[in-house]
Structure 1
């Protein structure tokens, strides 16, 4: 997977290409940090191979939990924004803190856009969103997630630092290893996805430029029209 810096380079090249062709780029979904990396003024601290190697060795030896606890002590805001299971991002945050001597969040940008951008968020009431998440996980299982992970495990999935910790993959790998039952893995996937959704919502809610529209069941039919109405207004964020 691309780092935020690499994603920024690739995304901006594509955005610039589309703008030069007279087309309107649409960036949908994704991690809040990656979205901001693409559209906001954002520079990235360098890396230190020695620090990175030491932190990655700690990750391999002890898992992401102790490293996330270390991050929570050094930068509580960063720890709240990064899932404890996301070892790669935890390592990067700790590396930046050690290199710069400042909290990781101090290196994040203000709300200054590189492009004239309209940002739209779709809000869903928590009980409804939780029900959608549970239904989505059920459909993942019905579509053969366990068999998919079993096949990928044979191709080296467990050795991947990021893919092995993806929602669903991590839980099924635990079940295949005998650490829990398949029903427990499914339930934990639901719980972990709900936690991830709450973090994503909190991240985007902090950005005052986002125009929020309701995506509740009773209002979904008119959602596209309301979004287009915003686009047609002279509104930028």
Structure 2
């Protein structure tokens, strides 16, 4: 049964929180999003950066249309595998979708495990611009003069960033931002401050159980035709894009098609890489004290998550 959230005074849409469901891959975020969407008349907004790509369905565990239970999903399948996007561009798309959903009196539900994309949607986070010519000039200096020279220059204008970063790409970016804005790159670091009313619900559970789930998930993907999906995306430009071919499973099975690996080796490498990715996701989201953690295996998961949504929708929450 659909339940209505809102302000008893009448301005219901203004108090509808953004619900962000976070956690490691394989923890059941998509299913919980459907449960909450059905319960509170919500719509889902995808924050998994690899589900942006058309045709990358099996390997990203993208919910097929028939399994979305009539729940509208936003920001899926809007890029070809040759295209790329930025976190800044996603931020605008996500916030537009959130505003649209709220304007129709519905509950926006952000779901996905791409940590920085999640932060971009929910938090006060400013993205400085870029200048391709300036970037190219700094990259030439890096190649000619070496990292130590550029790092010393960064230390003079932004000692905080210089103490935190030491790889060439990020040093170039920090110098580019300072040259463009006159501000240190460190001043653009994100705050843990919601841009609008938000509740984050995190899913976690037994680590051994997660490992088993991830292995079963990878093998199910392979049985469902992951290798054929990768092969079909090659003519669409999978190899040419900067990002899509790096997705878990896709890079491993591209090597199978190139004769550099076997299916079983690709399966094992994908399982290991997926476990490592899940560990990084947990590290990222655990660092945020605002996340309300739930055990994915608890019998009353839907009720427990719904309680957090209701609490966040109350006046003064």
TM-score by length of 2: 0.58
Instruction: Look up the SS of the partner of 1:47 in the other structure.
Output: coil
Q: Which residue of 1 aligns with 2:204?
A: 123
Alpha-carbon shift at residue 167 of structure 1 (Å): 0.7
Alignment of 1:191-230 (within 5 A): 191-216=272-297, 219=298, 221-230=299-308
Q: Which residue of 2 aligns with 1:19?
A: 102
The structure with the largest alpha-carbon Rg is 2
Q: Is the 8 A contact 2:198 2:312 kept in 1?
A: no
Q: Is the 8 A contact 1:47 1:95 kept in 2?
A: no
1:179-212 per-position Cα deviation (integer Å, ceiling 9, x unaligned) = 2222111111111111111111111110111000
Instruction: Look up the SS of the partner of 1:158 in the other structure.
Output: coil
Gaps of 5+ in 1: 58-73, 80-89
Q: Which residue of 1 aligns with 2:113?
A: 30
Equivalent in 154, 157, 168 of residue 235 of structure 2: 154
Q: Is the 8 A contact 2:199 2:312 kept in 1?
A: no
**Larger % of helix: which?**
1
**Larger % of strand: which?**
2
1:11-38 per-position Cα deviation (integer Å, ceiling 9, x unaligned) = 1111112222222211111311111111
* Whole-angstrom CA distance in 2 between matches of 1:169 and 1:75: 36
Q: Is the 8 A contact 2:135 2:176 kept in 1?
A: no
Gaps of 5+ in 2: 1-83, 141-161
Equivalent in 190, 211, 219 of residue 271 of structure 2: 190
Q: Is the 8 A contact 2:201 2:305 kept in 1?
A: yes
Q: Is the 8 A contact 1:8 1:38 kept in 2?
A: yes
Are residues 1:181 and 2:262 paired?
Answer: yes
Q: Which residue of 2 aligns with 1:10?
A: 93
User: Compared with structure 1, are the counterparts of its residues 168 and 231 closer, same or farther at alpha carbon in structure 2 (3 Å cutoff)?
Assistant: same
* Whole-angstrom CA distance in 1 between matches of 2:137 and 2:111: 35
